Amino acid sequence: MSLAETFQLAVKNILGSKMRTFLTMLGIIIGVCAVIVIVGLGNGMRGYIEESFADMGTDTLTVMIVGRGSSRSVSEEEMYQLVADNADTLKQISPTVTMSGSVKIGSDTHSTASITGVSEDYFSMKGYTVAQGRGLQYTDVADRKKVCVVGQYLNMAYFGGNAVGQTLKIGGTTFTVVGVLEMQDTELEEGGSDDCVYVPYSTASRLSYSGTLSNYTLTVQDTDRISEAKALVEEKLYAIFSDDDAYTVASMAEMVEEMNNMVNMIIYILAGIAAISLVVGGIGIMNIMLVSVTERTREIGIRKALGAKESAIMRQFVIEAATTSSLGGVLGIGLGYALSAAATSVVASVMPDTPITVSPTLLAVAVAFCVSTGIGIIFGYLPAKKAALLNPIDALRYD
């Protein structure tokens, strides 16, 4: 009896009792579906995180100097020197000064814009291009000029697209707009990446009364060697402070990775919990197969009398169990896809700002299918063994 025929027979038997088969499969269906949706959700979250961090630059290191009391600090020049001394690893540096407060344009007050003090290199480090006017220049920084470059949102919303040459006020100080950046997001929105003002860091530092510069953004020569670059900067800073609490060096790539690891861990735990239902489903299959063997004792007796070997009976029941559970797996995958699509649209309507696409991975689907089939084989084994070992004489006499 060939495998294909055994399989056909299994399908026939399964179709013979649809309700029972469906209930038997339910555990597997739910388990597989849950695993697929959870893994898909994790996948979506990971995708979302990567996407939101990608434009922040994965070749970027952020250095924050806390200092050690007042005894020792690092000056701007020292930081520049550090980059210059390690030019084969580090590329560019820009101090960053984050200013709070709102922007006043004419009589309008706009409070969502991010106001950052940066160096003349900052735009090229970040890959920003200037759409109108010019970017910041060395002399702007050196002379603490009151000039600024605005994002496309401010340009369109407040200056009617002609911001260059006009003025805005930050904390009472008037700045002349010298340039407008190219649009970065796909659409202009309040609080988005295009809602920003960049001023020379020297000017920003003076206005915000922060004596020393404490935040720097660095770019590296090779994105793949960002960990090395990070270690290098840390080493240099440690040499200055002899205290690793005095500074923080963060790489965006590492942060993304760390967050991904966290998401992954949560996903693995949730998927593990969902997988328990697969085991429960497997036990359900075993239970029903044992009942089935008892019910079909006479059939087994007849088949044995007609020449079925133990292996043939065994195979018949194992394949029947495996077919049941893999069918459950297929239905679970289908349901998982449907629920993933539903979850995606629910997330989209509940949290329009965080568009997470619940996308089941092919790997998860393949694993779910194999695991459900495997469960059928494992939990079908015991009942099949019981069937195979039946004594044909007793089995024939069984009513």
Partner 1 sequence: MSALIEFRDVCKTYQMGDTLIRAADHISLQVQEGEFVAIVGQSGSGKSTCMNIIGCLDVPTSGTYLLGGQDVGKMNKNQLAEVRNKMLGFIFQQYNLLPKLTLLENVEVPLMYAGMPKAERRERAKLALELVGLGDKLRHKPSQLSGGQQQRVSIARALAGEPAVILADEPTGALDSHTGREVLTMLQQLHAAGNTVVLITHDNSIAVQAQRIIRLEDGRVIYDGDAHDPQAVVTPGAAGLGMGREAGA
Q: Which of 3, 16, 88, 353 binds partner 1 (CB under 8 A)?
A: 16
| Smallest distance from partner 1 to CB 318, Å | 17
Q: Which of 64, 142, 305, 346 binds partner 1 (CB under 8 A)?
A: 305
Q: Is there binding between residue 20 and partner 1 (CB under 8 A)?
A: no
What is the footprint of partner 1 within residues 307-336 (CB under 8 A)? 307-312
Q: Is there binding between residue 3 and partner 1 (CB under 8 A)?
A: no
Q: Which residues contact 391 (CB under 8 A, 6 or more apart)?
A: none
Separation between Cα atoms, residue 379 and residue 325, nearest integer Å: 10
Q: Is there binding between residue 386 and partner 1 (CB under 8 A)?
A: no
Q: Is there binding between residue 236 and partner 1 (CB under 8 A)?
A: no
Cβ proximity to partner 1: between 250 and 396 the closer is 396
Which part of the chain contacts partner 1 (CB under 8 A), choosing from 133-141, 142-150, 296-304, 355-363?
296-304
Q: Which of 13, 62, 219, 373 binds partner 1 (CB under 8 A)?
A: 13
Which part of the chain contacts partner 1 (CB under 8 A), choosing from 113-121, 159-167, 273-281, 303-311?
303-311
| Smallest distance from partner 1 to CB 303, Å | 7
Q: Is there binding between residue 12 and partner 1 (CB under 8 A)?
A: yes
Separation between Cα atoms, residue 254 and residue 232, nearest integer Å: 15
Q: Which of 68, 144, 206, 298 binds partner 1 (CB under 8 A)?
A: 298
Q: Which of 3, 239, 306, 350 binds partner 1 (CB under 8 A)?
A: 306
Pairing of strands 60-65, 247-251: antiparallel
Nearest to 208 by CA among 75, 104, 97: 97
Separation between Cα atoms, residue 374 and residue 324, nearest integer Å: 11
Supply 89's token pair.
């690893």
Separation between Cα atoms, residue 331 and residue 30, nearest integer Å: 9
Nearest to 60 by CA among 252, 247, 207: 252
Percent of the chain as helix, strand, coil, to the nearest 5: 60, 15, 25
- Asked if 283 contacts 15 with a C-beta cutoff of 8 angstroms, the reply is no
Task: Give the H or E element holding residue 367.
Answer: helix 362-388
In the complex, the residues that contact partner 1 under the rule CB under 8 A are 1, 5, 12-13, 16, 298-299, 301-312, 392-393, 396
